[in-house]
Structure 1
Amino acid sequence: MVRGKTQMRRIENATSRQVTFSKRRSGLLKKAFELSILCDAEVALIIFSPRGKLYEFASSSMQTTIERYEKHTKDNQANNKSVASEQNVQQLKHEATSMMKQIEHLEVSKRKLLGESLGLCSIDELQEIEQQLERSVNSIRARKAQVYKEQIEQLREKERVLTAENQRLNEKCETMQPRQPVSEQRENLACPESSPSSDVETELFIGLPERRSKH
């Protein structure tokens, strides 16, 4: 019959908790002492009770063991950083090599698109380059047509704005011109002003000037 694992949790009763602490603390200190003797190990044990009381055991010197632990921790951190730094350098080198290969490939493709270095190209490669150039030309033409269309629309919009502005200015000029009263307009129609041509004598006389004056 397999027994299930008992879930460990905090003892709620304060008295039972204190008794258990005392027993486990004594057993832990005893095990640390036995480990240092039997295995010739450097052991340091620090325990704080729930009320903050300190219990400790050291096989040699607590301060020496703590300093040794701190030094070992720093050395491990430095080694980890060194390993990480070396890994980063290797990764950067790999990325740089990959980028150089990509740049070289792009340079070769660029020369081929310009019609250079085609001597070693096969028929399939030449056909692929030709198709790529045709796609590029089609894209350029489509973009060119779009730009023309946008410019035409802009010019038409500018024309509409100028036409509206011209109409507005014409209406403004008409409102600013003084209008002649209706009574004056009627007088001008009834009695038109004499023009210089009305005083000119139009009767035709034949003969000497003296006879013309007598008539």
Structure 2
Amino acid sequence: MLTSNGYSINKTLERYQRDNFTPQDNVAEHETQNWFQEISKLKAKYESLQQTQRHLLGEDLGPLNVKELQNLEKQLEQALAQARRRKTQLMLEQMDDLRRKERQLGDLNKKLKSQLEEEGLNLKAIQALWTSTSDAAGTSSFHVHHSQRIPLDCEPEPVLQIGYQYAQAEGSSVTKSGTGETNFIQGWVL
């Protein structure tokens, strides 16, 4: 069959079926084209960002005109101002934190000072009790003076050896034991 323009109906139907009934191929091809365009855009943006980074680092400035250089200078000044603001903000936050810690330490110091004063009053009360007890007993050899301070880091006193060191007389028949012990009783009995 022929149509008015010379095409057969079969060819028209084939073309119609091919265009309308194979949408998967068209969708896949269309999607591939979209991805290709997206990749091209991202690649161009990446290269532009690299170029801008080089400009900000002071590289490849030769091809830039005066207006572009002024724009670059403005961007650098804005970035520097932002960095200074952020650093100032961090320093103010640190100062606030240090002030808070200072107040906490001051409060702790006051608390410890009051505890120390309370302990000092308790110590004075104990010393007064000890003094009154020793005066009542008639022994003043253990008297603690109120002006004396009790040292916190006392060093040990030297050891005092009490006992009789036996020295054998020349004509004595009592012998000293050879084990190194003192003959306290033997010397006392003699």
When normalised by structure 2's length, the TM-score is: 0.52
2:74 counterpart residue number: 131
Q: 2:114 & 2:24 partners in 1: Cα distance?
A: 83
Mapping for residues 66-215 of structure 1, pairs under 5 Å? 76=21, 79-177=22-120, 178=122, 179-180=124-125
> SS of the residue aligned with 2:125?
coil
Q: Which residue identity does 1:160 align to in structure 2? A: R
Change (3 A) 1:127 1:180: same
* CA positional deviation for 1:184: 6.0
Where do 5+ consecutive residues of structure 1 fail to align? 1-71, 188-192, 196-215
Q: 1:101 & 1:88 partners in 2: Cα distance?
A: 20
RMSD: 3.4
Identity over the aligned pairs, expressed in percent? Answer: 30
Q: Which residue identity does 2:118 align to in structure 1? A: T
2:138 counterpart residue number: none
Q: 2:89 & 2:60 partners in 1: Cα distance?
A: 34
Comparing both structures, which one devotes a greater share of its residues to helix? 1
Q: Which residue identity does 1:116 align to in structure 2? A: E
Q: 2:86 & 2:109 partners in 1: Cα distance?
A: 35
1:62 counterpart residue number: none
Mapping for residues 33-44 of structure 1, pairs under 5 Å? none
Q: Which residue identity does 2:88 align to in structure 1? A: A
Q: 1:184 & 1:176 partners in 2: Cα distance?
A: 15
Q: Which residue identity does 2:66 align to in structure 1? A: I
Q: 2:50 & 2:82 partners in 1: Cα distance?
A: 22
Q: 2:31 & 2:108 partners in 1: Cα distance?
A: 67
Larger radius of gyration: 1
When normalised by structure 1's length, the TM-score is: 0.47
Pairs aligned (count): 118
* CA positional deviation for 1:102: 0.4
Q: Which residue identity does 2:125 align to in structure 1? A: Q
Where do 5+ consecutive residues of structure 2 fail to align? 1-16, 133-142, 146-190
* CA positional deviation for 1:174: 3.1
* CA positional deviation for 1:170: 2.3
After TM superposition, the structure 1 stretch with the greater mean CA deviation from structure 2, 111-120 or 172-181, is 172-181
